[in-house]
Chains A and B, each alone.
Chain A
Amino acid sequence: MNEQPVDREAMLDLVAAYALGVLPAAEAAPVAAFILADDGARREYNELRATANLVGTIAVEPVDSTRSTRMKERLMAQVRTDAIAGARTRTPAAASTVRSSAVWGTALAAAAAVVFALVSVIQNFTLSSELAEAQRKTAVLAAEASSARQSEESAQRMLADVSAADAQRFPVVYGTVIRRGSHVYLAMTSLPPIPRGRVYEAWTLAKGAKAVAASVTFTPSGNGLTLVPLPEDADHLAAIALTVEPEGGSKVPTTKPAFVQPLS
């Protein structure tokens, strides 16, 4: 008996658990890698995730009127304050940027509350040193919250990109190059361990360029699974290559590429 089908069925069971959202983070990573590497698993994941998301829709719960009124007043006060503050400070172009920026979540609520307080202060008093200090603290808090939130959302965006049905996938030795829109990733599923003092280095060839440019260096995780986002805009790239280089990276490739993959 060949054991491969049994292993695959077990992995597909895990894909379903992943789609429902019940895998711990430690188990989720290899399942995500399996989804990346296997067309059937990716299809199964997309179908079951769409189904699993619907489960939540049955949870509509009546909210008592006192609570409902309180919740709505609290929310709408913050939203109106934000809308007013936004209208005062944003140019149309800036407004578009803000809409598409990372979400601040509760930090935004806190920041909006402080902005509301600041507006009240402005209406009643001239700018004071206290106000300046409050503004400074608000900016620091907002920046910290934004940074943390952006990291988390960046990771989520990566997973969404590489598992998306409309992503382009280019099989290469040791894994797949994945492109979605302007984003490009190296999804390596079987990279060999690398000797001490050496790193993998990605190279990009810009459209119309005659020489490659250094992109990022990385070392694979213990099981050979590595997902590397490249910082370059995929729309401007003609090809991607991967070499092994001395630690710290090289300015030009010094070893034979593991692969050279055109992005078209």
Chain B
Amino acid sequence: MERVRTRDVDAFEQLYDGYHRLVFGIALRMTGDATMAEDITQSVFLKLWSAPDAFRDGNFSAWLSRVTRNRVLDLLRSRANKPAGEIPADLPAELSLDDDVFARIDAERVRLALAALSDDQRTPIELGFFGGITHEEIARRTGIPLGTIKTRIRTGLRRMRETLVEAVSQ
């Protein structure tokens, strides 16, 4: 990213080679439409090129994931193919200092930490992140009471964090 900040096109190309499958993968999971995912990938990387300072520090993949998710939510809002109340609010993609703890975590560790959750906890978390839907919609689709969904999201994220912190400290 340091080289991209100096407008180094070759460095940007390498960055694209390394991460476009991640951006495309998130967009595809969220939209289910490969053409749309392609456009979103284009848009996210252009954003990265035009504002490389938006990433400050921490886990780049995690930051890029949030940026991509926000971009998909923007698109869903602009296309108005869902009622506004069903589309969750964006979160700032900016990193907190705490992200430094997870700077070295790779996708395989994250996969293992998610796999260690019970289905009850994993489903609302994955559906929430990749579904681009609200907690109420998660409750409706799973047929589980809203209060239970909220608690499972919290306990699931907390347990996932504990697993990852343990992995980092080993």
**Interface: A37 (CB within 8 A):** no
For A10, the chain B residues whose CB sits under 8 A away are: 147, 150
A139 within 8 A of B: no
On whether A20 and B161 interact (CB within 8 A), knowing A53-B65, A59-B26, A95-B7, the answer reads no
Contacts A24-B85, A50-B101, A71-B41: A57 and B50 contacting too (C-beta < 8 A)?
Answer: no
Contact present for A166 and B97 (CB under 8 Å): yes
Does A165 lie within 8 Å of B128, measured CB to CB?
no
B133 / chain A contacts, CB cutoff of 8 Å? 22
Q: Could you say which interface size class chain A belongs to? A: 35 or more
> Does B36 reach chain A (CB closer than 8 Å)?
no
Q: How far is the CB of A92 from chain B (nearest CB, A)?
A: 11
Q: Which of A22, A51, A163 is close to B134, meaning CB atoms less than 8 Å apart? A: A22
Q: A23-B88, A58-B114 are in contact. Are A103 and B51 (CB under 8 A)?
A: yes
The answer to whether A109 and B42 touch (CB under 8 A), given A63-B21, A165-B98, is yes
When A24-B89, A49-B96 are in contact, do A99 and B52 touch as well, CB less than 8 Å?
yes
Interface magnitude class on chain B: 35 or more
Asked whether, in the complex, the Cβ of A54 is within 8 Å of the Cβ of B164, the reply is yes
Q: Is residue B123 contacting chain A, with contact meaning CB distance below 8 A?
A: no
Are B51 and A51 in contact, with the CB atoms below 8 A? no
- Chain A contacts with B in 15-59, Cβ cutoff 8 A: 15-26, 28, 46-59
Given contacts A58-B107, A59-B26, contact A26 B85 (CB under 8 A): yes
Q: Which residues of A contact B120 (CB under 8 A)?
A: none
Binding site secondary structure of chain A: helix
Least CB distance, B110 to chain A, in whole angstroms = 5
For the residues of B in contact with A, the DSSP-based class is: helix
Is residue B46 contacting chain A, with contact meaning CB distance below 8 A? yes
Q: Is A88 an interface residue (CB 8 A)?
A: no
The answer to whether B98 touches A50 (Cβ under 8 A) is yes
Query: Is A133 interfacial (CB 8 A cutoff)?
Result: no
* Interface pick from A78-86, A121-129, A253-261: A78-86
Residues of B within 8 A of A208 (CB): none
Check A21–B41 contact: CB distance below 8 A. no
- Residue interface bits B1-23, CB-to-A below 8 A is 1, else 0: 00001010100110011001110
A60 at the B interface (CB under 8 A): yes
With contacts defined as CB atoms under 8 Å apart, how many contacts are there between chain A and chain B in the complex? 241
Q: Contacting chain B: which of A154-162, A190-198, A199-207, A220-228? A: A154-162
CB-contact partner of A105 in B46, B62, B96, B107, under 8 A: B46
Q: Is the CB of A24 within 8 A of B86?
A: yes
| Cα of A17 to Cα of B58 in the assembled complex, Å | 22
Residue pair A109, B9 in contact (C-beta under 8 Å): no
Question: Are the C-beta atoms of A56 and B157 separated by less than 8 Å?
Answer: no
In the complex, A62 has a CB within 8 A of chain B: yes
Residue contact A51 to B26, C-beta cutoff 8 Å: no
Cβ of A225 to closest chain B Cβ, rounded Å: 15
CB atoms of A78 and B41 under 8 A apart: no
Chain A proximity mask over B75-97: 1 for CB below 8 Å, otherwise 0: 00000000011111111111111
CA separation between A46 and B157, bound complex, in Å?
A: 12
Whole-angstrom distance between the Cβ of B113 and the nearest chain A Cβ: 8
* Beta-carbon contacts under 8 Å, A147-173 to B: 156-157, 159-160, 163-166
Q: Name the CB-closest residue of B to A70.
A: B38
A50:B96 contact, CB within 8 angstroms: yes
CA distance A245 to B64 in the complex (A): 45
Q: How far is the CA of A15 from the CA of B58 in the complex (A)?
A: 22
Given contact pairs A22-B88, A22-B153, a sample of 16 additional A-B residue pairs in the complex whose CB atoms are under 8 Å apart = A19-B91, A22-B133, A23-B134, A25-B88, A48-B157, A49-B91, A51-B157, A51-B160, A53-B99, A60-B22, A61-B24, A68-B20, A75-B45, A105-B46, A156-B90, A166-B97
Q: Which residues of A contact B (CB under 8 A)?
A: 10, 12-26, 28, 46-63, 67-68, 70-72, 74-76, 78-80, 82-83, 86-87, 95, 98-106, 108-109, 112, 156-157, 159-160, 163-166
